[in-house]
Every structure is written in C-alpha cells, then in structure tokens.
Amino acid sequence: MEYKGFDLNISTYGVLNYHVSDDIYNSLNSCYGYGNKEVGMLDANRWSEDGTYLSSVPRTYAANNATLAWNDLFSSRKIQNAAYWKIANVELGYNFPDKWFGGYVSGVRLYVSAQNLYTFTGYHGYNVDYAGGTFTPGYNF
C-alpha cells in the first residue's frame, strides 16, 4: 500500500485446526506424584453435593509403584488447540523524491521494520509455530 511516498507492507500467516501436546503444561497439570503443580490441580470444586464430578482435572486414586503411572494417563485433555494467526512482519517506508538530491542519487528509501510482532492464539506454550527439537512437530517439550 502506498500513499504520497509512504508505503506499508504487512505479512501475516496462520494455521487452523492445529493441535499439539505440550509436555511442560501437561506436567504442571498432571496428577502424577512429584513436582510442582498448577493451581488448577487444587480445584476445591471438583464434586457437587450429589456426587457429580465437576472438574476438568483427572481423578486420582491410590496406587503402588507398579500402577503409579496409571494416574497420569494421556487423554484428550492434554491436547491443546494451537490454531494461531501471526503478524510476522510490518514495514513502513518513505521514498524520497529524486529532486531532493539534485539528480546525484535516485531511489532513496528510509524504512523501519518489525518482525514477529504478535501471535493471536489460545495456546499455553512458548511458541506455537515451533514444536521443538528433533521430535515430531506437534509435540512440544
């Protein structure tokens, strides 16, 4: 887009229907027996008076060392909607008139640019469009 010597370029991209498993978030929301937990794991309103289970936090139960891992079964609760829209680049420039330089120079342009300005997403992880390391995309450590 151009107006009176100024120009503006905006680059964006995004992904729909993108789901990932974020192990950092999952471990904080796990009912496994060690480590720090997110406040949601302390949900005091898990049960109603009629005994209905209300919380989205998985139920825990007594276990011995042989069955301890069953307290942390993988479920769809651990998959996050990672759809996003990212403002990747914004560039604002001004093209100086050639007459300003008396014919010695032409095509002079001054610009400012910003990259990775903002990502619109509900994802809880660090960077929604990089799933990390040498592992399969969609699995974030």
Which stretches of 16-133 are assigned E, i.e. beta strand? 19-22, 79-81, 84-95, 109-121
pLDDT at 107: 84
Taking the complete model, does pTM exceed 0.75, yes or no?
no
Q: What is the pLDDT of residue 99?
A: 85
What is the model's pLDDT at position 123? Answer: 83
| DSSP conformation letters of 17-32 | S-EEEEHHHHHHT--S
Please state, in angstroms and rounded to a whole number, the distance separating the CA atoms of residues 12 and 92: 15
pLDDT for 113? 97
The number of angstroms, rounded, from the C-alpha of 134 to the middle of its chain's C-alpha atoms is 19
pLDDT tens digits for the chain (141 residues)? 778 989 999 999 999 988 887 666 666 666 555 555 555 555 556 666 776 766 666 555 555 555 555 555 566 767 888 899 999 999 999 999 988 888 788 889 999 999 999 999 988 777 777 655 555 555 555
What pLDDT shows up at residue 106? 87
Phi, psi dihedral angles at 38 (to 5 degrees) = -75, 155
